[in-house]
Structure 1
C-alpha cells in the first residue's frame, strides 16, 4: 500500500506521524511524509520518503520568533492569538497547495494527516470523494484523564456541572482512558 502522511513542522505533532510511518514502513508499505526540512532525517530513519513543505510554511518550531514577526512584542492572550494564527491558520493555503501537489504527482492509496495540518480541510472541501484517496486524521493530543485541563494548558481547575473537579483532585485517575473501566465507560 502506498500512503502519504503529512504533518506541520512541529515536534509534538510530527511524532505521531513518524510513529505511524515507521510502523507502516516496517510492514512493507511505501510511505511518503510531507513535513518540515528539520525532520527530514527522522522521516528517512523511519523508513519513509521525505517530501518538503514549501519554504514559506517550513519553520523551525524551536525559533518561532524568526517565523512570526512581531511575536516578541506580544503578551498574554494577544501572544496566544498571534501564535495560533501564525502557526496554524496562515499556513493553510500553502499546506493545501503542497498536499494537492503531492497527490497530483503520485498516486496514493490513502492519506493520513496530523489533525492540525490545516491543508487537509480545503483539500477535503474542494476535492470530490470519488476523485481522492481516503483521508484519515490522527491526533498527537493525549490525556490520561477527562479530568485534565484542556491540552495541559495550565488553566485553573474548576468544578464541572457534575460537581467533580476538572483537574482530578480528590479523584483516582485510571492509567488508561482506553480501558473499559476507564473514565469514558458508563458508570
Structure 2
C-alpha cells in the first residue's frame, strides 16, 4: 500500500472535493494524512485520514486568525485588485509556511505522493526542493494557460480561430507582463526566501506535471487543442450523505405542485443583499416556493421583515437532501455547488463576479445549462426574467438533464484513486491514452 499526504487551502470549496478521494484511498488500504485548517478536522477524520494541522502557515479556516488590517484592505478593493490581494496574501505568502509544514510532515510520514488543490502552491515548491511527486485536483474550472482561451478571470468564451488565438496570446501577455507583473514579482520574492530560483510562470499556470484531476465532465470545460496530457476528467467530486439530517418544519412543502427555486451564495461571499434579497423580492408574488440558505449567517441578516409568504430561509441545508426537490438554482457561481446542481439536472441562474465566479458563470452559459447575469448584484426584475426563462424554456432543463446523465457515468473517487495509485507506483506522469472529448452535449 502507498502513503498519500493531502494538502488543502483551508476553505470549504477547496477542502470538500478532496473528501471523497481521501475516503476512497483509505478504503483501498492506503495510509492518508491530510494537512489543512483546524476547522476541518472533523471533515478529515470522517474520511479515515489522519488530520495534520497548519502550524507555520496562516490557518484562515478560522477568520479570527486573519489580521484585521487585511480584511479592511481587502474589502476596500474590487475586481482585479481584490484578486491580486488574495493571490499575494492568501495563496502565495501562505505557501512559505506550507513548505515548512510539509517538510516536517514528510520527515514523519514519507509520502509517496502529495495531493493538493489547485490553489495550494506549497506542493510544487516542496517537489522542487527534492520532495515526492505531486498531484493536483481542480477546486475550480481549469485555470491553466491555453492558446484557445483568454486568461483566467476574464470570463470570456474560448476562441480557437486564428484571430481568436492571436487575441488570446495578446491578452495572456498583457496579464502576465503588465496587469499581474507585481504578483509575479511577489511570487519570486517568496520563492527566493526558500532558495528557489525566480521563474516567469504565472500563478494560474503552475500545474502538476504528474497528474491533474478535474472534477467535472469534459462537456463543462472549454475545449483546448493544447490540453496537457496529464489532465484527466474524473467527474464531479460530490460530498457523501450527511451523517444526520433533521428536515425543517416546512419540508413537506417541497412536494407540492409548484416550482421550487433555491437561492444560495455559498459560504464565502455571503452578503445577502447581493443575491438572496433580490431573489426573494423578485419572486414574492410568483407561484413558486423559494428556499434560501445564508451560508451560515443568521437569518435576521437578510433584513426582510416579514419574509415573503413563499420564502423559506435557513442557515444551511445539505444539498444532498435539498437538490432532488429543486427546479431552478440561483447561485453566485461556486464551482462545487454548480457541479452538484448539474449532477441533479438543475438549470442555473448565476450572478457572481468575485474570485473564480466569472469563469464558472461563463461556462454555465457556454454549456447551455443556465443564464449568466454578469453581475454580483442583479436587479430583482433581471432575476425574475431569467428564472422564468429556465422554467418555461425546456432547452435549459434538457441540457442540464443531459449533464446529469453524463455525470452518472463517472465514479469520480474511483477514477481519481486509480490514477493516484498509478502515480504512486511509477512516480512518473500519468498521461491520458487519448484526447479528451470536449464536445458540448447536444
Matching of residue 80 in structure 1 with residue 278 in structure 2 = no
Matching of residue 183 in structure 1 with residue 438 in structure 2 = yes
**d(CA) in 2 for partners of 1:95, 1:168:** 36
| Residue 95 of structure 1: aligned partner | 98
| Matched ranges for 1:163-178 at <5 A | 167-168=365-366, 175=403, 176=406
State the 1:38 CA deviation: 1.1
Going from structure 1 to structure 2, the CA distance change for 1:74 and 1:141 (only over 3 Å counts) comes to closer
**d(CA) in 2 for partners of 1:82, 1:117:** 16
What TM-score do you get using the length of structure 2 for normalisation?
0.34
Residue-by-residue CA offset, 1:95-142 (whole Å, 9 max, x unaligned): 111111110122223222222211112111121xxxx43322222224
Going from structure 1 to structure 2, the CA distance change for 1:159 and 1:34 (only over 3 Å counts) comes to closer
Going from structure 1 to structure 2, the CA distance change for 1:37 and 1:169 (only over 3 Å counts) comes to closer
Moved more, 21-30 or 108-117: 108-117
Structure with the bigger RCO (C-alpha within 8 Å, sep 6+) is 1
SS in 2 for 1:68: helix
Q: Which protein is bigger by CA-based radius of gyration?
A: 2
- Determine if contact 2:115/2:134 at 8 Å carries over to the other structure: yes
Going from structure 1 to structure 2, the CA distance change for 1:65 and 1:149 (only over 3 Å counts) comes to farther
Matching of residue 68 in structure 1 with residue 36 in structure 2 = no
State the 1:160 CA deviation: 2.7
- Determine if contact 2:44/2:51 at 8 Å carries over to the other structure: yes
Residue-by-residue CA offset, 1:131-168 (whole Å, 9 max, x unaligned): x433222222248xxxx9987x6x555573548x9853
- Determine if contact 1:9/1:36 at 8 Å carries over to the other structure: yes
Going from structure 1 to structure 2, the CA distance change for 1:72 and 1:38 (only over 3 Å counts) comes to same
| Residue 139 of structure 2: aligned partner | 140
State the 1:9 CA deviation: 0.5
- Determine if contact 1:113/1:120 at 8 Å carries over to the other structure: yes
- Determine if contact 1:59/1:67 at 8 Å carries over to the other structure: no
Count of residue pairs the alignment pairs up: 175
Q: Give structure 1 stretches of 5+ with no counterpart.
A: none
- Determine if contact 2:6/2:114 at 8 Å carries over to the other structure: yes
Matching of residue 113 in structure 1 with residue 116 in structure 2 = yes
| Residue 45 of structure 1: aligned partner | 46
- Determine if contact 1:60/1:67 at 8 Å carries over to the other structure: no
Going from structure 1 to structure 2, the CA distance change for 1:12 and 1:150 (only over 3 Å counts) comes to farther
Going from structure 1 to structure 2, the CA distance change for 1:97 and 1:169 (only over 3 Å counts) comes to closer
| Matched ranges for 1:141-156 at <5 A | 141-142=140-141, 155=154
- Determine if contact 2:6/2:115 at 8 Å carries over to the other structure: yes
Could you say what the CA RMSD is over the residues aligned between the two structures, in angstroms? 3.8
